Amino acid sequence: MERPRPGRIAGHNPLVTWCVVGALLGVGAALVGWHGVYRSLEIRLAAVLIDATTSSGVYVAPHRQTVYFGLGTDHAIGLKITPECTSAFLVVPLLLVAAAMVSLRPRITRRVLASLGLAVVVLVLVNQVRMLTLVALIGGFGRHRGYYLGHTLLGSMVSVFGGAAALVLFVWLSTRTPRPKDTQKDTPKDAPA
């Protein structure tokens, strides 16, 4: 008896499946290869959020992935998103798992992509929360103490719990048993019961 090959599930075009898998892997490779670009975008977003939540001046230097805040005060400081601080590399494992899931069970492609999207949003937001926490603590406790609390301790905690939240969200949403309406959407009409 011949077993169905990847993407051979009735109603699912294998070409589409492989395109999705290729795209996911491609995005993962791009994140590694062009992490500088991603970090520039991340720092731009951080600058917007810092500007919205603080009263002092903010300046962003995207090419250096650095945001300066507290401008116009005695406590101006710059924060740089380094390869160790970016959320880019936290997204990569999720992309790999999503690619594996799509290639192995094409009928869940939409669900996996939606879950991946949400998990990535959570990861990006968690990293922004980490940055904002850092800014707030530096404002409250001063440069050295605030940086220590915000970066070394709290920042790591935010990463761990945020990472866990994103992971749980991804696994839960992508693997949950679909409701009857979702089943109709995900399962081809001629699939065996």
Question: Which among 140, 125, 131, 129 has a CA at the least distance from the CA of 68?
Answer: 131
Positions of E strands within 18-95:
57-61, 66-71, 77-80
| Residue placing its CB nearer to other proteins in the complex, 13 or 73 | 13
Based on the shown chain and the rule CB under 8 A, indicate whether residue 175 belongs to the binding site for other proteins: yes
Based on the shown chain and the rule CB under 8 A, indicate whether residue 83 belongs to the binding site for other proteins: yes
Positions of E strands within 52-121:
57-61, 66-71, 77-80
Stretch that binds other proteins, among 13-21, 40-48, 88-96, 135-143 (CB under 8 A): 88-96
Taking CA 129 as the corner, what is the angle to CA 124 and CA 135, rounded to the nearest 5 degrees?
Answer: 130
Based on the shown chain and the rule CB under 8 A, indicate whether residue 174 belongs to the binding site for other proteins: yes
Round to whole Å and give the CA distance between 58 and 110.
40
Stretch that binds other proteins, among 14-22, 69-77, 133-141, 157-165 (CB under 8 A): 157-165
**Exactly one of 65, 66, 86, 127 binds other proteins (CB under 8 A); which one?**
86
Based on the shown chain and the rule CB under 8 A, indicate whether residue 163 belongs to the binding site for other proteins: yes
Backbone angles phi, psi at 3, to 5 degrees: -85, 145
Stretch that binds other proteins, among 48-56, 67-75, 126-134, 146-154 (CB under 8 A): 146-154
Going by the DSSP 8-state scheme, the letter that residue 74 receives in this structure is T
| Residue placing its CB nearer to other proteins in the complex, 56 or 159 | 159
